[in-house]
Amino acid sequence: MAPLKGLTDHLFRTAFAEHFGGFDLAIAPFISSKRDHIFKPKYVRDVLPENNTALPVIPQILSNAAEDFTALSNYLFDLGYESVNWNLGCPSRTVTSKKRGAGMLPHTDLIRTFLDDAFSRIKGKISVKLRLGWTSSDDIFRLLPILNQYPLEVVIIHPRTGIQQYEGEIDLSAFEHCLSSLKHPVVYNGDIRTYNDFKRLSRRFESVSQWMIGRGCFADPFLPTVIRTGDTEVPDRIQIMKRFHDDLFEKYNRVLHGPSHLLNRMKGIWRYLSFSLKGSENFTKRINKAQRPDQYVDLVNHFFETEAQL
């Protein structure tokens, strides 16, 4: 499961694993490194081992300072983790403007220095999640020989640039070049929305054995299991989705403070989950107008009972 900030937290990951399954593990949404190196349990709550018993998780760290990265990494290793993931893919302008995430990709020398320092201090393994570059794939082509110099666990590649965000065509030719040039295991991430997408990509990239799905698991939450089993016939899909929703609602209801926080979180999830159900556009407009949790629940119950279609 790919990390989606504000969406795929440990409560979502747990509910997804319990109702849909299919994923072997998840990369958690990033945690930013800190200069003071003080990490209270609240700061890393999303990746505390006791909160991640249903689906194994790898913590992801956003950082452009190796000392801060390794301090947080080693804190997580002391909690029992064997690996952390370095985020070089986030395309958000608030992140990239500080030379973090995808904004660091043009700065090849900074990445080399970062990895030199990190691997001299780190207690465990590092994987990297990155894009092709900030404005062009020239960034990753310069970076490939450098990545090959370090014992990275895996390299996860989303074949778009940072300025593309999540729009436009993926560059499969550039990904193919990366795949043939890297010495590390490569994970493919990007635009796996249907079983046919997966079959097409897996036929083209036969050496890839690990696949990451993000928004595709919202568009079709049964997709990971279908990919694993090859069986596209999943009975009682609407009922399973309803049980998943209700479970997730109750999980958030127990931990979020105030009805507005609960409603905002559920409305945010529906912006993606609605893609998996026909006729949900009018429904999402109605729930966005809900002011109270009881109104929201009534609307959702009515939708699943009378309107929801696959």
pLDDT (tens digit per residue) in 181-234: 999 999 999 999 999 999 999 999 999 999 999 999 988 999 999 999 999 998
pLDDT (tens digit per residue) in 74-99: 999 999 999 999 999 999 999 999 99
Half-sphere exposure of 156 (CA within 13 A, CB side): 26
Q: How confident is the model at residue 277 (pLDDT cuts 50, 70, 90)?
A: confident
Amino acid at 127: S
User: Domain spans of the chain?
Assistant: 10-229, 237-306
pLDDT (tens digit per residue) in 24-54: 999 999 999 999 999 999 999 999 999 999 9
- Decide: residue 14, CB within 10 A, 0-12 exposed, 13-18 middle, 19+ buried: buried
**Strands (E) located in 5-92:** 26-27, 31-32, 57-58, 60-62, 83-88
pLDDT (tens digit per residue) in 148-179: 999 999 999 999 999 999 999 999 999 999 99
SS3 call for 43: coil
Identify the residue whose tokens are 């082509």.
141
Q: What pTM did the predictor assign?
A: 0.95
Bridge partners of residue 83, in order along the sequence: 125
Longest CA span, the chain: 60
pLDDT at 281: 84
pLDDT at 69: 98
Token reading at 96:
């990239």
Does 279 have pLDDT greater than 80? Answer: no
- Across the chain, mean pLDDT equals 96
DSSP string of 72-132, one letter each residue:
HHHHHHHTT-SEEEEEE----HHHHTTT-GGGGTT-HHHHHHHHHHHHHH-SSEEEEEEEE
Pairing of strands 210-212, 31-32: unpaired
Domain covering 10-229 in this structure, CATH number:
3.20.20.70
